[in-house]
């Protein structure tokens, strides 16, 4: 894992040798254990009855909130390998590269909003927050759970619009199986994955998951590329009839030549050059690479170790302990392709001069690291009081997290500072380097402790109550870079002055989160519910101190969600239907002209959601969803932005996917996704919109034998040209064109 210099063949052989050795040991040690091959039903299973976390004790039909589960079968049928692609199956979720509140800052990392609010800090792995900034490969995950609405009482700080939980593949003593998958697509992406679960004894099992991928030249510029190595080892053991332990280590290494986007013709450029039209550049130029191939890079390393211990005191009472250590780092230098301009002040006014060339010297650079140590301890029990059944979770969580970054100085001298707009050169050279400022980074350490109580109360056969409360104490202390003018900076863009690291003001927060709901069940397959919940987001929740101390001392931002919904299980419980109306209102930080911050702003999103998932017949499976939402700034300290919408909150999103088992060997499927358009608000105006887009996708798989399956996936079937994201810096990101992927899987 230390280098990409090892060949893909040597890595694949290494994983294969480990798998074979473990299989041999299992065969020698436990002759009586049967080896079970993967025998997949051709009918896809899209309906999931229950989420993985024990903090929600009810089945989804009885859970009083909107939760969508992307199942393992759905991921496999769509040939999905990335986190952002998977979330396209969930309406009301936008994946993009610009942060909440607009402004536009395209990145190569996973960014998302749920019901209009940023969920970048609300991504979890097996119920534990995942702090790291990287593009998540799905080689080690079996399903994804998307929970809508504010839910800090369950998930912790943040989660204004909802949260996402990735469920890992874990070792199981139930069976032994091995599966190898190889695929290639017309983005030149080559990929191989291994999934091997080996029952060593009746009480012990080990699972190995590995992935190696290389490619991803979506626009055909010959430069963009993404390399990923992932390895996960999981060990499960039943220490006794009452106690089990599961431990795992996941390692990820990424080495990319990424693309932030293409030049955007601003109003000023269009006025200066009438042959250019304001907006995205002409589609005939989308295959151009506006960067410096020898300079641009992104490297990420993630190491994660987890131990989960589960002890049963009785059939109704258990204690679960989950501990995790995570370390990650990311270094990058990536071109920000914008048209060159200069600025000067004439008679007290700023005057811009524009050029029809693209800057090659303007970059987005990062040198940062994250770490997390966390332990959750949950006592889970069922009891009866006053004739009512309680499913009770009493828990505590303690964590320590850190974020550090170096401010960077650009000492590079390029052979040319600009690129020809129509024919950008790809052979630019440079001398010098981008270097760290100072000998130590700015660093923030956050510590937190929380206690919580969650209870689901069955009053009788028709009425359910759910309630939860969480008290959390969070402290953050650290440092920031300041320049010679004593201006502080929370993030690491390249400097224009001399900088030094100084201590920042300490931020301390104590807050209470809660949820409550009532559900009426006229029968076991129907649920009508009303729920209310909140979330709390501390001022330094992201571990990045603000440039203004007035922000760091503010109380947490608070979001409150009211949801009225209904759920039905139909067709002998094979179909789950969900309908809900919701409103989320969030108090947000706002500032006056003197850059003093207050909790004076308010944002609101109201909407309607519909979803369905399951098996319509024995041969036909379906998942579909629709969200209509209206977003608005309802309060503003200066009143300027009242009435504006929220960035990256499309009014309508919808998706549908169907698969049909033509026979016991052939599976065919297809689907559609629709987005009415992401609007980016800036300077009190709808500064840019991506426009609406409808995409068609299709698949077919054929079981050649009991062991060998061939699969074809076609995404963006009609080769639609569209825009997915925009940066206020002056560049945009096109969507992926038609992609044809052929894959082969072999189970043994």
Tens digits of residue pLDDT in 207-222:
999 999 999 999 999 9
What does the alpha-carbon distance between residue 78 and residue 144 come to, in Å, rounded to a whole number?
A: 14
**Residues 333, 336, 342, CA angle at the centre, nearest 5°?**
125
Determine how β-strand 177-185 pairs with β-strand 190-199: antiparallel
Q: Residue 126 pLDDT > 90, yes or no?
A: yes
Distance CA 639, CA 592 (A): 10
Which strands form 339-346's sheet, in the order they lie side by side?
Answer: 339-346, 349-359, 418-420
Please, which pLDDT band fits residue 348 given cuts at 50, 70 and 90? confident
Measured distance CA(410)–CA(293) in Å, rounded: 17
Q: Look at 739 and 731; give whichever has higher pLDDT.
A: 739
| Confidence category of residue 182, pLDDT binned at 50, 70, 90 | very high
Chain CA centroid to CA 81, Å: 13
CA distances from 256 to 290, 301, 326, 332, 372 (A): 16, 12, 22, 9, 25
Is the confidence at residue 16, as pLDDT, over 60? no
pLDDT at 597: 78
Query: What pLDDT shows up at residue 548?
Result: 65
pLDDT higher than 90, residue 292: yes
Structure tokens at 101: 């509140």
551-595 pLDDT, tens digit per residue, is: 777 889 999 999 999 999 999 999 999 999 999 999 998 777 777
Percent of the chain at pLDDT exceeding 70:
90
CB 38, CB 72: distance < 8 Å: no
46-50, 424-428, 500-504, 516-520 — which is least confidently predicted? 500-504
- Cβ atoms within 10 Å of 49's Cβ, excluding its own: 11
Q: How confident is the model at residue 489 (pLDDT cuts 50, 70, 90)?
A: low
Q: How many helices (H) and strands (E) does the chain have?
A: 6, 45
Instruction: Write the pLDDT tens digit of every residue in 645-697.
Output: 998 899 999 999 999 999 999 999 999 999 999 888 877 777 788 889 999 99
User: What pLDDT shows up at residue 262?
Assistant: 96
pLDDT at 500: 81
Percent with pLDDT over 90 in the chain: 75
What does the pLDDT read at residue 486?
58
Q: How far is CA 659 from the centre of its chain?
A: 26
pTM as predicted: 0.91
Which of 84-98, 112-126, 286-300 is the least confident region?
84-98
For the chain, which domains are there?
A: 8-747 (2.40.170.20)
Cβ proximity of 329 and 722 under 8 Å: no
Strand, coil or helix: what is 60? Answer: helix
DSSP conformational letter for 82 = B
Q: Is the dihedral of CA 129, 135, 140, 144 positive or negative?
A: positive
Give Cβ neighbours of residue 390 (< 8 Å, ≥ 6 apart). 382, 383, 384, 455, 456, 457, 458
User: DSSP secondary structure string, 357-375?
Assistant: EEESS-EEEEEEEEEEEEE
Query: What digits encode the pLDDT tens for the residues 382-400?
Result: 999 988 999 999 999 999 9
Paired tokens of 556: 């947490």
pLDDT at 167 over 60: yes
Compute the CA torsion angle 487, 489, 492, 496 (nearest 10 deg): -10
Strands 162-168, 123-125: pairing kind: parallel
pLDDT the model gives residue 545: 81
Round to whole Å and give the CA distance between 601 and 637.
Answer: 6
- Using the Cα atoms of residue 51, residue 87, residue 141 and residue 449 in order, give the sign of their dihedral: negative
Higher-pLDDT residue of 262 and 40 is 262
Q: Is pLDDT of 303 > 50?
A: yes
Tell me the pLDDT of the chain averaged across its residues: 89
pLDDT at 598: 82
Element (H, E) at 683: none
Given a cut of 90, whether residue 106 has pLDDT beyond it is: no
How far is the CA of 228 from the CAs of 137, 204, 254, 466, 698, in angstroms? 8, 30, 5, 42, 26
Binned at pLDDT 50, 70 and 90, residue 484 comes out as: low
Token pair, residue 304, equals 């994660």
Range of weakest confidence among 432-441, 519-528, 614-623: 432-441
């Amino acid at each position: 894992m230390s280098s990409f210099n090892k060949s893909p063949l040597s890595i694949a052989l290494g994983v294969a040798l480990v798998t074979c050795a473990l299989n041999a040991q299992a065969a020698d040690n436990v002759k009586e254990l049967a080896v079970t091959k993967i025998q997949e039903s051709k009918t896809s299973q899209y309906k999931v009855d229950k989420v993985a976390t024990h903090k929600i004790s009810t089945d989804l039909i009885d859970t009083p909130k909107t939760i969508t589960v992307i199942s393992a079968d759905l991921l496999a049928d769509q040939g999905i390998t990335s986190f952002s692609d998977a979330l396209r199956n969930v309406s009301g979720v936008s994946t993009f590269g610009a942060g909440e509140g607009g402004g536009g800052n395209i990145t190569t990392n996973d960014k998302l909003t749920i019901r209009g609010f940023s969920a970048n800090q609300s991504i979890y792995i097996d119920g534990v927050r995942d702090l790291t900034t990287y593009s998540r490969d799905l080689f080690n995950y079996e399903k994804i759970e998307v929970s809508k609405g504010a839910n800090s009482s369950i998930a912790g700080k943040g989660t204004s619009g909802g949260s996402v939980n990735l469920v890992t593949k874990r070792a199981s003593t139930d069976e032994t199986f091995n599966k190898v998958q190889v695929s290639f697509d017309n983005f030149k992406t080559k990929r191989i994955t291994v999934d091997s679960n080996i029952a060593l004894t009746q009480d012990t099992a080990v699972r190995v998951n590995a992935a190696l991928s290389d490619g991803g030249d979506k626009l055909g510029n010959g430069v963009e590329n993404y390399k990923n190595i992932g390895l996960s080892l999981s060990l499960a053991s039943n220490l006794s009839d009452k106690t089990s332990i599961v431990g795992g280590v996941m390692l990820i290494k990424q080495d990319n030549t990424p693309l932030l986007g293409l030049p955007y013709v601003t109003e000023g450029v269009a006025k200066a050059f009438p042959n250019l039209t304001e907006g995205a550049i002409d589609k005939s130029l989308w295959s151009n690479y506006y960067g410096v191939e020898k300079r641009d890079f992104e490297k990420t390393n993630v190491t994660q170790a987890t131990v989960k211990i589960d002890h049963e005191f009785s059939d109704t009472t258990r204690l679960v302990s989950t501990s995790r250590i995570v370390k990650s780092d990311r270094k990058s230098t990536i071109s920000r392709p914008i048209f060159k301009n200069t600025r000067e002040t004439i008679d007290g006014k700023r005057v811009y001069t524009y050029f029809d060339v693209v800057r090659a010297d303007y970059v987005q650079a990062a040198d940062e690291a994250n770490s997390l140590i966390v332990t959750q301890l949950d006592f889970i029990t069922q009891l009866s009081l006053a004739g009512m059944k309680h499913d009770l979770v009493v828990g505590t969580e303690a964590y320590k997290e850190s974020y550090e970054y170096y401010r960077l100085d650009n000492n590079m001298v390029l052979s040319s500072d600009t690129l020809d707009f129509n024919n950008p050169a790809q052979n630019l050279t440079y001398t010098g380097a981008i270097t760290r400022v100072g000998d130590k980074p700015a660093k923030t350490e956050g510590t937190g402790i929380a206690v919580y109580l969650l209870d689901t109360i069955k009053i009788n056969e028709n009425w359910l109550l759910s309630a939860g409360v969480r008290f959390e104490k969070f402290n953050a202390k650290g440092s920031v870079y300041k320049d010679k003018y004593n201006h502080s900076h929370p993030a690491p863009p390249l400097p224009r002055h001399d900088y030094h690291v100084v201590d920042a003001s300490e931020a301390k927060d104590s807050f209470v989160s809660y949820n409550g709901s009532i559900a009426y069940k006229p029968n076991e397959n129907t649920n009508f519910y009303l729920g209310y919940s909140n979330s709390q987001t501390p001022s330094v929740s992201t571990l990045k101190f603000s440039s203004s101390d007035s922000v760091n001392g503010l109380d947490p931002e608070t979001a409150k969600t009211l949801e009225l919904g209904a759920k039905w299980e139909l067709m002998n419980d094979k179909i789950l239907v969900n309908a809900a109306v919701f409103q989320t209102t969030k108090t947000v930080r706002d500032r006056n002209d003197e850059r003093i911050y207050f909790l004076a702003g308010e944002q609101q999103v109201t909407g309607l959601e519909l979803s369905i998932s399951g098996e319509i017949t024995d041969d036909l499976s379906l998942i579909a969803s629709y969200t209509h939402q209206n977003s608005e700034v309802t309060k503003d300290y200066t009143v300027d932005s009242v009435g504006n919408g929220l960035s990256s909150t499309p009014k309508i999103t919808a998706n549908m996917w169907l698969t049909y088992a033509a026979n016991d060997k052939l599976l065919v499927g297809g689907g559609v996704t629709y987005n009415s358009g992401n609007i980016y608000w800036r300077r009190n105006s709808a500064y840019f919109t991506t426009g609406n887009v409808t995409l068609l996708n299709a698949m077919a798989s054929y079981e050649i034998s009991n062991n060998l399956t061939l699969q074809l996936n076609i995404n963006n079937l009609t080769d639609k040209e569209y825009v997915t994201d925009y940066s206020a810096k002056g560049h945009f990101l096109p969507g992926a064109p038609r992609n044809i992927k052929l894959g082969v899987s072999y189970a043994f």
